[in-house]
Amino acid sequence: MTETRVADRQRIRDLILGYCRGVDRLDLDLVRAAYHPGGVDHHTGFDGPVEEYVPWLGRVLPRLDGTMHLVANHLVEFNGPRAVSETYGLAVHWGSPADDPALNFTSGFRYVDRLECRDGRWGIVERHAIREFTHSDAQRRVPAPAVGGSRNPGDPVFVQLARLRAGSAGW
Amino acid sequence: MTETRVADRQRIRDLILGYCRGVDRLDLDLVRAAYHPGGVDHHTGFDGPVEEYVPWLGRVLPRLDGTMHLVANHLVEFNGPRAVSETYGLAVHWGSPADDPALNFTSGFRYVDRLECRDGRWGIVERHAIREFTHSDAQRRVPAPAVGGSRNPGDPVFVQLARLRAGSAGW
Amino acid sequence: MTETRVADRQRIRDLILGYCRGVDRLDLDLVRAAYHPGGVDHHTGFDGPVEEYVPWLGRVLPRLDGTMHLVANHLVEFNGPRAVSETYGLAVHWGSPADDPALNFTSGFRYVDRLECRDGRWGIVERHAIREFTHSDAQRRVPAPAVGGSRNPGDPVFVQLARLRAGSAGW
């Protein structure tokens, strides 16, 4: 493994984590940025190109109060400007009412992605999103936390990134 | 920390993730590849060398319908060609019937590994697999997913890796 | 992204994982080492500088039998010697009696950290610990594992690290 491939690994991992941040914060531009144009997604409940997948997400995600896509294992194999990446993760979903198992569940997923580097940018050309198991959280919900995240620019991560980019002395 | 150690970290992490892929896909060669010959495993229900551990896994894993070993934290400390690695993770197990707590549970594990680099290849020489907690999933199972993984070469990750390695124009 | 930033990423990730090891093993020096002096923590139930946060942790953690802070997604953005890091994770808590939901629960967290590199060392200057969801584990606990971790120097990770550092031939 060369040092360059360490950097490529990091870029591909960042792309996948950016996708998750986009879904969880409902920032659809971040979701779209993970794919090359025409990239295909095979998902539970959806099958088609990113140009249709992102609007579909925009319709179904607001039915939930929130999601958290926790990314664990990440293995990548390269062949020149092509790569196959396998990502393991947990997708936690919550909604109202809290005892509805269709809105409150955790699934174990694997993303098997075909990726290409075009003009120096890695992107997904095809994703298989495999669901390994689904567990209901309906009987497990504990009342709302003291400090929760949000799906708008007021979330702490966006506030702090804006301060970082501004480079203000008093950041 | 030197750049080389960044690459060594990556190699050790890949070795551990390869072990997990091997267990979850029931690909015992991948499991074996994580150890040096004679490497010892201290596990719940097993204690001995990899040459006995792998056949033992081959007997117990088929009793389950599936497993998912999600790897989180990974810290490594080096001393020349030796390293100690601590890996945090969740091991999700599922089986039939779905309400049997002996077949449907999640455990939090830590792998504390002693590793050596021999002839340029890192491998485990001793593993302590520590179980931190065990939670029953028996009352949480939701019916089978639309798209599940498999334990044979038809799993999407192996199909896509075969295409990548073949380097076909129409991959 | 330069190679150096790959190494900086690794250093920041190590710092966060060291924090988690410190909390889970009740090693408060490791917790403190993640912050610069005066670094501020905004946490459920606590708000103030690290000099007060660490003693507070030292009072509340022993009420539990154990914790496991599993770190998943980690995204970092840099601006010279400053960085903003977002970490996703699961915090699993267990205590006695096992059916008490106040002692047995899992929360999904995000750490949004402002970090600075001072004299070659990265440290947190401000942390927002956001709790995304909380799930009770009270009805899920399965009796104690065969091999568990500990909060003292006898834990396998500390035993193996001591052997590594000693560099003994018979490690």
pLDDT band at B149 (very low <50, low <70, confident <90, very high): confident
Q: What is the pLDDT at residue B147? A: 65
Among the partner-chain residues C6, C147, C160, the one whose CB lies closest to the CB of B114 is: C160
Return the structure tokens found at B124: 């485990």
Distance of CA C152 to the CA centre of its chain: 16
Among the partner-chain residues B44, B74, B128, the one whose CB lies closest to the CB of C145 is: B44
pLDDT for residue B1 is more than 50: no
The rounded mean pLDDT for chain B is 93
According to DSSP, residue B28 is labeled H
Residues C67, C53: Cα–Cα separation, whole Å:
17
According to DSSP, residue C116 is labeled E
Give every CB contact of residue C163 below 8 A, 6+ residues apart in sequence. Answer: B84, B114, C171
Give every CB contact of residue A120 below 8 A, 6+ residues apart in sequence. Answer: none
Average pLDDT over residues B13-21: 97
pLDDT band at B22 (very low <50, low <70, confident <90, very high): very high
pLDDT for residue C167 is more than 90: no
pLDDT for residue B146 is more than 70: no
Lowest-pLDDT range, A117-131, B8-22, B133-147, C131-145? B133-147
B145 touching chain A per CB within 8 A: yes
Give every CB contact of residue C166 below 8 A, 6+ residues apart in sequence. Answer: none
Average pLDDT over residues C14-24: 97
C29 touching chain A per CB within 8 A: no
CB contact under 8 A, C167 and B79: yes
Residues of chain A with pLDDT under 70: 1-4, 144-147, 169
ipTM of predicted complex: 0.94
Lowest-pLDDT range, A39-43, A103-107, C132-136, C140-144? C140-144
B32 Rama class: left (phi>0) / alpha (psi -120 to 50) / beta: alpha
Taking the CA of residue C170 and the nearest CA in chain A, the distance in Å comes to 30
3-class DSSP state for residue C121?
A: strand
A128 touching chain B per CB within 8 A: yes
Q: What is the pLDDT at residue B148? A: 76
Nearest chain C residue (CA) to B114? C160
CB contact under 8 A, B84 and C20: no
Average pLDDT over residues B7-14: 95
Return the structure tokens found at A114: 């075909």
Distance of CA B167 to the CA centre of its chain: 28
Question: pTM of the full predicted structure?
Answer: 0.95
Residues A52, A23: Cα–Cα separation, whole Å:
15
pLDDT for residue C2 is more than 60: no
> CB of A31 within 8 A of CB of A22?
yes
Residues B93, B90: Cα–Cα separation, whole Å:
10
Q: What is the pLDDT at residue C146? A: 61
Among the partner-chain residues A44, A90, A112, the one whose CB lies closest to the CB of B156 is: A112
Average pLDDT over residues C78-94: 97
The rounded mean pLDDT for chain C is 93
Contacts of B34 in chain A (CB under 8 A): none
Average pLDDT over residues C78-105: 96
| Residue of C41, C37, C22 whose CA lies nearest to C119 | C37
